[in-house]
C-alpha cells in the first residue's frame, strides 16, 4: 500500500480509537473516524498477544493486502485502523479477506455492489 494511504503517527491511531466508531469480529477490530482529507488512510496493529515479531508482522501483512484490494471502493475522508485479535495466528488469507470485507460493509465503507461472494443454492 502506498505511503500516502498509511497511518503512521501514534496520535492518528489514538484518535481513531478514542473518537471513532468500532466494529469487531472474531479476527479483527475495525476503528473508523473521519479525517477531513481528500483520501482515506489505513493503519494496522498487532499486539504481543498475537505472538512474537514474525507472527505480528504476518498478521499486519495479511490485513494490509486484504485492505489494499478493497481500497479503491472505500470512500475518501476516513482514517481506518484494523487491529488483529489472537485467532489471527491461525487464519489464512481468505479468512482475513472475508473478515476485512465483512467489517468494512458493517461500517458502510463498501457498497453492496462490490460483493465477491458466491451463493450456492441447494
Q: What tens digit of pLDDT does each residue of 25-75 get? A: 999 999 999 998 999 999 999 999 999 999 999 999 999 999 999 998 999
Residues 6+ apart with CB under 8 A from 117: none
Mean pLDDT calculated for residue range 102-116 = 80
SS3 labels along 40-57? CEEEEECCCCCCCHHHHH
pLDDT at 122 over 60: no
pTM listed for this prediction: 0.85
pLDDT grade, residue 118 (50/70/90)?
very low
SS3 labels along 59-112? HHHHHHHHHHHHHHHCCCCEEEEEEECHHHHHCCHHHHHHHHHHHHHHCCCCCH
Amino acid at each position: 500500500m502506498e505511503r500516502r494511504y498509511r497511518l503512521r503517527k501514534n496520535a492518528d491511531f489514538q484518535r481513531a480509537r478514542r473518537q471513532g466508531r468500532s466494529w469487531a469480529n472474531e479476527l479483527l477490530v475495525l476503528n473508523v473516524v473521519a479525517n477531513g482529507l481528500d483520501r482515506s488512510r489505513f493503519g494496522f496493529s498487532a499486539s504481543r498477544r498475537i505472538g512474537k515479531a514474525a507472527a505480528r508482522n504476518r498478521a499486519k501483512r495479511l490485513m494490509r493486502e486484504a485492505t489494499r484490494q478493497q481500497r479503491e471502493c472505500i470512500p475518501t475522508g476516513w482514517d481506518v485502523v484494523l487491529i488483529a485479535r489472537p485467532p489471527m495466528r491461525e487464519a489464512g488469507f481468505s479468512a482475513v479477506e472475508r473478515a476485512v470485507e465483512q467489517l468494512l460493509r458493517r461500517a458502510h465503507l463498501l457498497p453492496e455492489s462490490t460483493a465477491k461472494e458466491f451463493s450456492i443454492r441447494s
